[in-house]
């Protein structure tokens, strides 16, 4: 069964901590994405990557960075966590092309206290 695996389902971190969210896919997808999902705001794209070592900013990149050293792994980094980064974080992957859907992970619910 193909899947996108996010390293943690729930995380609680303190303000100012550096936080790493890991995502691994086993489908040989070129594209990988990080979204955050908040009530009333829908899915918002943070960063995406269309190839190893390539990254593009999404709609809300401030306060985040990413790393893609291997095709199957895409990491989201919160450089200095803040309470307004409390959210559900979703990783997704897809083949390149306009007719392919995204496969999402189960999400990481991050709480920053």
**Residues of this chain that bind other proteins (CB under 8 A):** 4, 31, 42-43, 45, 48, 50, 90, 92, 96-107, 109
Nearer to other proteins, 67 or 103 (CB): 103
How distant, in Å, are the alpha carbons of 41, 50, 53, 91, 102 from that of 70? 31, 12, 8, 15, 19
Nearer to other proteins, 14 or 101 (CB): 101
Which phi and psi (to 5°) does residue 35 adopt? -120, 155
CB of 16 to other proteins, least distance (A): 28
Nearer to other proteins, 20 or 100 (CB): 100
């Amino acid at each position: 069964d193909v899947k996108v695996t996010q390293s943690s389902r729930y995380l609680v971190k303190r303000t100012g901590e550096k936080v790493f969210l890991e995502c691994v896919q086993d489908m040989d997808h070129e594209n990988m994405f990080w979204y955050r999902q908040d009530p009333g705001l829908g899915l918002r794209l943070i960063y995406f990557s269309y190839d190893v070592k390539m990254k593009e900013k999404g709609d809300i990149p401030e306060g985040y960075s990413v790393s893609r050293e291997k095709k199957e792994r895409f990491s989201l980094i919160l450089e200095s966590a803040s309470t307004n980064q409390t959210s559900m974080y979703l990783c997704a992957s897809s083949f390149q092309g306009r007719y392919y859907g995204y496969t999402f992970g189960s999400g990481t619910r991050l709480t920053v206290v």
